[in-house]
Amino acid sequence: MVPHGLIPGKVVHRIDWTPSQFSIAVRADIDPFVAGQFTKLALQNEHGDWVRRAYSIVTPPTEYSLTGDLEFLIVAASQGELSPKLHQLQSGDSVWVAKQPAGFMTIEEVPEYAKQLWLVSSGTAIGPYLSILMAPLLSFEKIVLVHAVREKRDLVYRAQIETQLQRYARRLKYVPIVSRESVSGTLSGRIPALLRDGSLENTAAVSLNPEKSFVYLCGNPAMVKESVQALIEKGLNKHLRRKSGHFSSETYW
């Protein structure tokens, strides 16, 4: 029997970015969502057990209401139970989708004082930020999109990011970071060190300031944990719904 909350979906499109990173567009009739939220994808394994995992929605809600398609950016985790199976899906294949989206990494959760928004990601965690940026234009005076990856080829969605850079004019700054290759036009290393030594702020030409900045961190849990320490060292505090602060995070595993 299909577990409660799952509805049928159909893969309508796929993009292969690298041998392990891909996007699938899934047609499914889910409940309304807000840019930055996730839903779950599910398949049955060889024993008939249901395996479901969370995936951030890349598609902005406005586009979903026109097309009915949800795009997800996924990496096939080595030894993973579900993601390698999702990697094998082709157009026309079935996949199950949680009807109810969830998540608090949305613009509504950003406290009112914030004038400068930092969207900091590693790996596939750039996905929810693309939804946020592609949704109706945000009014922040500055938005910094940080994407840290292993190799240049992992810098996905470049065309869509270019479109947003033009749409936001000079208010959006894209800062790609590549850790395992030296690539011109990108920073090299890891986010926590680049926060600590000021390289991220210099490259973005924006300083992290508790009076103006709000930071979202998303992706690799070790990256998030170490970046949180770096932000605390800079005088920023964790944001809680009951006590406003300067950063908030979503970890992918």
Ligand X SMILES: Cc1cc2nc3c(=O)[nH]c(=O)nc-3n(C[C@H](O)[C@H](O)[C@H](O)COP(=O)(O)OP(=O)(O)OC[C@H]3O[C@@H](n4cnc5c(N)ncnc54)[C@H](O)[C@@H]3O)c2cc1C
- Contact residues for ligand X, defined by CB under 6 A: 38, 53-56, 72-75, 77, 80-83, 103, 123-124, 127, 250, 252-253
By CB under 6 A, is residue 135 in contact with ligand NAP? no
Q: Which tokens sit at 81?
A: 């139970």
In degrees and rounded to multiples of 5, residue 154 shows phi and psi of -80, -5
Partner that binds at residue 222, options ligand NAP, ligand X, none, CB closer than 5 to 8 Å by kind: ligand NAP
Q: Which is nearer to ligand X, 154 or 201 (CB)?
A: 154
By CB under 6 A, is residue 20 in contact with ligand NAP? yes
Long-range contacts of 234-240 (CB under 8 A, 24+ apart): 234/195, 234/208, 235/210, 236/208, 236/210, 237/210, 239/109, 239/111, 239/214
Partner that binds at residue 192, options ligand X, ligand NAP, none, CB closer than 5 to 8 Å by kind: ligand NAP
Q: Which residues contact 75 (CB under 8 A, 6 or more apart)?
A: 20, 21, 83, 123, 124
Cβ distance 113 to 52 under 8 Å?
no
From residue 7, give the alpha-carbon distance in Å to each of 13, 35, 51, 52. 19, 21, 14, 12
Q: Least distance to ligand X from the beta carbon of 212, Å?
A: 27
Partner that binds at residue 226, options ligand NAP, ligand X, none, CB closer than 5 to 8 Å by kind: ligand NAP
Q: Which is nearer to ligand NAP, 110 or 155 (CB)?
A: 155
Helix (H) or strand (E) holding 74: strand 69-75
Range 190-219, binding ligand NAP (CB under 6 A):
190-192
Q: Between 44 and 73, how does the x/- string for binding to ligand NAP read (CB under 6 A)?
A: ------------------------------
* DSSP one-letter code for 109: G
Residues near ligand NAP (CB under 6 A): 18, 20, 75, 77-78, 122-124, 148-151, 154, 179-180, 190-192, 220, 222-223, 226
